[in-house]
Amino acid sequence: MNEASFSIYGYYKRDNKSRSWVGTRMDFSTLTWKDRLGTSLELRFFGGLNKNSAIHYYVILSAYSRLDAQGIIRVGIFIYGKKTESQDPFLSTGLFS
């Protein structure tokens, strides 16, 4: 059975350097191959609420295999990208479990 889901979240975040942001997160996920192979795409955008808070966004792509029937144990790969206003993009890849 193939399943797909789409979610939208609202965010507020701040740090200890007097910076704060408001943003959205959009998730799109699929589950295929007898509910064992999944993919996920997350898009996050944050707008700064003061002059110290740069606009930034994230793109996170992952593919994973469920190792148990409940989907609690997973193994997969991910690609994580972040772009902040006035800075070069940051890209990372890796494995997760």
Beta strand segments in 3-89, E: 3-14, 20-32, 37-48, 56-66, 74-84
Q: What's residue 61's pLDDT?
A: 92
Nearest alpha-carbon partner for 96 in 81, 80, 78, 79: 78
- Full-model pTM: 0.74
- Dump pLDDT digits (tens) for 85-96: 888 888 888 877
pLDDT bin (cut points 50, 70, 90) of residue 97 is low
Q: Is 3 exposed, middle or buried (0-12, 13-18, 19+ CB in 10 A)?
A: exposed
Give the pLDDT mean for 8-16: 91
